[in-house]
Structure 1
Amino acid sequence: MTTFLPDLDPRDLEVELARYRADYAALKARQLALDITRGKPAPEQLDLSSSMLALPGDGDYVIDGIDCRNYGHLAGLPSLRELFGEVLNIAPANLLAGGTSSLETMYDVLSFAWIHGTGATGPAWSSDPVKFLCPVPGYDRHFAITESFGIELIPVALLSDGPDTTTIRELVAADPQIKGIWCVPTYSNPSGVTYSEQVTRDLMSMETATPDFRIFWDNAYAIHPLTGDAPPGLDVLTIADQEGHPDRPYVFASTSKMTFAGGGVSFFAGSPENVAWYLGHLSRKRIGQDKVNQLRHVRFFVDAAGVRAHMRKHQQILSPKFDLATSTLQRELGNSGIASWTQPSGGYFVNLEVLPGTAKHVVALAQAAGITLTPAGSAFPSGDDPRDSHIRLAPTLPPEHEVRLAVEGLCTCIRLAAAEYVRRNRHAPSQETA
């Protein structure tokens, strides 16, 4: 257990700093090559779906009266929409099955709004400056999509039950340039927060200065629990309708972390008007979906119970890694006063907070020691964490022994960075360490 550094007298702090520097030198001497950057499935998780590669098998490519090898049926296979409609708590008529990437679907939706507008409620978004709200910490790829359009991103705090709706309500009521918000409602990336029904209703009911305000509702981790069962999915489309704004949410999901990250199925859902709007624009760029791949998924999962049983197998692989990561943090840094972290019940990340002003230094120290982390600040728009305290950990891909080595090494870096920070803030600038 680490000494509580902020309380040490100067002499004892120097002793600890010398010890941490020696520990770090020993860490570098090990010449590690470890990577806990992105939330990728482990090979063992991908192996769970290997039998899908033999499907559909026996030459039977017909389902729902559709020959899956041919053009057409842009909305996707009815059987797959029904299956995942139950999983996601969305009526199949409002759910479309698409290609392999939900990020691509998000980009398409934003592109359609940018070029054409969202339908009858307003002009093309490109006709005026656009701003987006971003609950933080959040998903860097969401930020990258909007930033690529030149959209201004406005951070808002993510609380324990969802984004700060008091602040959001004030912002959207006052500024018609705010056209949307990114949301990851279940096991948020990277905090693991799951939105409450009240927060969801607040988001769907609030009055906005622009009539075409949209919520990009990315349910990427809807059924990815690390302990127990996933919470029942909120019927967000019905909630939006009940609150008087049925067209507000665009819903996204995929099987990328269920089957194959490069060969899953994405989903888009919305009100009947939003579904018609999306299909109308999509039909200009695509004749039909990869229905053979969709057929594989139907025959592999069979039904919603099959999906949940499959995800329990993922849980058995991932839970020990997350337990190892958090127990190592507790053993190495518990009660130190220099770090805190989440104990996620689902999703793909551990949210780590270090002393303000040290996250970038921690990541640089780790990189020099052969431990690759996601860049500090990546969970904030433009990579700008104003506190310089946030680090995202992804223990999913490496084997357990590498997770342990990486987190132990990271703790060595956190201790050194913290001791240098405390010392630096007790001394005049001329006495700072390098």
Structure 2
Amino acid sequence: MSLADLSAAELSALHDDLTAQYADLKAAGLKLDLTRGKPSAEQLDLSAELLSLPGPDRTTDASGTDVRNYGNLQGLREIREIFGELLGIGPDQLIAADNSSLSIMHDSLVFALLHGRPGGDPWSGQQVKVLCPTPGYDRHFALSQELGFELVPVDLTADGPDLETIKKLVADDPQIKAIWVVPTYANPNGAVYSEEITRELVSMPTAAEDFTLLWDNAYAVHHLTDSEITPVDVLGLAAAAGNADRVFVYASSSKISFAGAGVSFFGGSPSVVDWYLAHLAKRTIGPDKINQLRHALYLKNADGVRDLMRKHRAIIGPKFEAVQRILTERLGDRDVATWTEPQGGYFISLDVAEGTATEVVRLAKEAGIALTPAGSAYPYGRDPGDRNIRIAPTFPPLPQVTAAIDGLATCVLLAAVAKLRQ
């Protein structure tokens, strides 16, 4: 029954019952962590073979070049071919780098600040605003804020961003230089950007001639169902719209192989790739090509990646199913929360009763359940409704996920009932 339909006496009785449940929860001495979207040790073990590759007898790439030496700023072609097929990007329009796509995001934005984008002026002499679909990825927002950009939130639903608001903002304000996009299974709500939305983003008129789509395809192959979405050809659509240089594509193997020792990628038009490489050449002589070679040897081809990701799904799928089952059982008929049922990615976005997310996180912490801070999925950490909580169920073992979500549901109900009784 909905909490709103309960009488004052019924609410009081429910509050007493939930208070007792919460006391038992605290007494259990839990130490559970749902804060970050990390692969579990079981997932990392899937790629253990990487640790023995390429081996002492394999020191050259497919072209015969010694990977132990300097050079090849763009990275090994064989790894670019594998991930280019997965991302829908030709290998010549892709750069393979070191382990962190966040580093590439940082570098590309710093290059824009210091030197300007291809054909543009340096952003450093301008007031720069960045559109931030929310709820979104806290590290995108933190990086933008670190570089002095003003963060402008726009709503993101399960069907994509508020396109009409975006189109109006970018058409009217030349200070809006970019928008963050996680096009496939967005962090945290699992949104998937359709080809129609992508066409609008690459073709819409913008007051800033150097407006940029910061296209972070972090979860391009991270499916949770048999419906494996194919990434939209964003670079092809941008070129067809006459805005070939509008898109910076980012990706990595971080949640495919080893989270801390994978391969990251940057993609763009030929002129964007040339621009990035020209500035990158001042920072490094080349990437870790040995790591790129071991990945190419292990993964073999795009189908090798797809097969590996199905093994990941077999491990994390039951955890996502457990979250859905427990939230439905505990909260489904109470009208105090809604949550996403993502088809891929690493997160579930939970919206609790308005004005209670901070309290829910506090209650959970005191009961030994660590959650990402309330508001972290919003620019400056400010969720105007104090409703959103990001759930990251991949890292803990399934029994811990089950215990944590059941405890979280108790905290959600306790906070909601307490607010109704005020």
Fold agreement, TM-score > 0.5:
yes
1:126-141 matched pairs, under 5 angstroms: 126-141=124-139
1:260-271 matched pairs, under 5 angstroms: 260-271=258-269
Tell me what 2:229 maps to. 231
Tell me what 1:119 maps to. 118
State whether residues 328 and 407 of structure 1, in contact with CA within 8 Å, keep that contact through their aligned partners in structure 2: yes
* Higher deviation after alignment, 151-160 or 44-53: 151-160
Tell me what 1:98 maps to. 97
Q: Aligned partners of 2:131, 2:266: CA distance in 1, in Å?
A: 21
Deviations 1:377-425 (A, max 9, x none): 100001100000000000000000000000000011011000001111x
- 1:258 corresponds, among 256, 259, 264, to 256
In the superposition, relative to structure 1, how do residues 72 and 229 fare at CA in structure 2: closer, same or farther (>3 Å)? Answer: farther
Deviations 1:83-131 (A, max 9, x none): 11111110111011001000000000000001111121x2110101110
Tell me what 1:357 maps to. 355
The secondary structure found in structure 2 opposite 1:14 is helix
The secondary structure found in structure 2 opposite 1:158 is strand
Query: By how many angstroms is 1:230 displaced?
Result: 2.2
Q: Aligned partners of 1:137, 1:199: CA distance in 2, in Å?
A: 18
What is the count of residue pairs matched by the alignment? 421
Tell me what 2:317 maps to. 319
Identity %: 53
Tell me what 1:195 maps to. 193
Runs (5+) with no aligned partner, structure 2? none
State whether residues 130 and 178 of structure 1, in contact with CA within 8 Å, keep that contact through their aligned partners in structure 2: yes
Q: Aligned partners of 1:291, 1:127: CA distance in 2, in Å?
A: 36
Q: Aligned partners of 1:359, 1:108: CA distance in 2, in Å?
A: 34
Tell me what 2:204 maps to. 206
State whether residues 222 and 230 of structure 1, in contact with CA within 8 Å, keep that contact through their aligned partners in structure 2: no
Tell me what 2:343 maps to. 345
Code of the aligned partner of 1:79: E
Tell me what 1:83 maps to. 82
Code of the aligned partner of 2:12: E
Query: By how many angstroms is 1:164 displaced?
Result: 1.2
State whether residues 157 and 189 of structure 2, in contact with CA within 8 Å, keep that contact through their aligned partners in structure 1: no
Query: By how many angstroms is 1:58 displaced?
Result: 4.4
Runs (5+) with no aligned partner, structure 1? 425-434
Tell me what 2:184 maps to. 186
Q: Aligned partners of 2:13, 2:227: CA distance in 1, in Å?
A: 47
Code of the aligned partner of 1:415: L
The secondary structure found in structure 1 opposite 2:414 is helix
* Higher deviation after alignment, 4-13 or 278-287: 4-13
Query: By how many angstroms is 1:162 displaced?
Result: 1.5
State whether residues 138 and 378 of structure 2, in contact with CA within 8 Å, keep that contact through their aligned partners in structure 1: yes
The secondary structure found in structure 2 opposite 1:62 is coil
Tell me what 2:291 maps to. 293
1:37 partnered with 2:35: yes
Deviations 1:262-307 (A, max 9, x none): 1000000000110010000000010011000000000001111111
1:280 partnered with 2:262: no
Tell me what 1:18 maps to. 16
1:164 partnered with 2:162: yes
State whether residues 158 and 190 of structure 2, in contact with CA within 8 Å, keep that contact through their aligned partners in structure 1: no
TM-score, scaled relative to structure 1:
0.96
The secondary structure found in structure 1 opposite 2:421 is helix
Deviations 1:185-239 (A, max 9, x none): 0000000011010100000000000100001000000000011142111111000
* Higher deviation after alignment, 8-17 or 141-150: 8-17
- 2:371 corresponds, among 366, 370, 373, to 373
State whether residues 254 and 265 of structure 1, in contact with CA within 8 Å, keep that contact through their aligned partners in structure 2: yes
Code of the aligned partner of 2:90: A
RMSD: 0.8
Tell me what 1:421 maps to. 419
Q: Aligned partners of 1:24, 1:160: CA distance in 2, in Å?
A: 32
The secondary structure found in structure 2 opposite 1:261 is coil
State whether residues 158 and 189 of structure 2, in contact with CA within 8 Å, keep that contact through their aligned partners in structure 1: no
Q: Aligned partners of 1:5, 1:198: CA distance in 2, in Å?
A: 40
Tell me what 1:397 maps to. 395
Q: Aligned partners of 1:39, 1:128: CA distance in 2, in Å?
A: 35
Q: Aligned partners of 1:249, 1:159: CA distance in 2, in Å?
A: 22
Tell me what 2:242 maps to. 244
Query: By how many angstroms is 1:335 displaced?
Result: 1.3
Q: Aligned partners of 1:161, 1:415: CA distance in 2, in Å?
A: 28
TM-score, scaled relative to structure 2:
0.99
Tell me what 2:107 maps to. 108
State whether residues 72 and 286 of structure 2, in contact with CA within 8 Å, keep that contact through their aligned partners in structure 1: yes
1:406 partnered with 2:407: no
The secondary structure found in structure 2 opposite 1:69 is coil
State whether residues 71 and 287 of structure 1, in contact with CA within 8 Å, keep that contact through their aligned partners in structure 2: yes
Query: By how many angstroms is 1:12 displaced?
Result: 1.2
Code of the aligned partner of 1:194: V
The secondary structure found in structure 1 opposite 2:214 is strand
Code of the aligned partner of 2:107: D
Code of the aligned partner of 1:218: D
State whether residues 161 and 199 of structure 1, in contact with CA within 8 Å, keep that contact through their aligned partners in structure 2: no
In the superposition, relative to structure 1, how do residues 124 and 173 fare at CA in structure 2: closer, same or farther (>3 Å)? Answer: same
Tell me what 1:387 maps to. 385
Q: Aligned partners of 1:35, 1:58: CA distance in 2, in Å?
A: 40
- 1:60 corresponds, among 55, 58, 61, to 58
Query: By how many angstroms is 1:174 displaced?
Result: 0.5
Q: Aligned partners of 2:418, 2:116: CA distance in 1, in Å?
A: 52
Tell me what 1:428 maps to. none
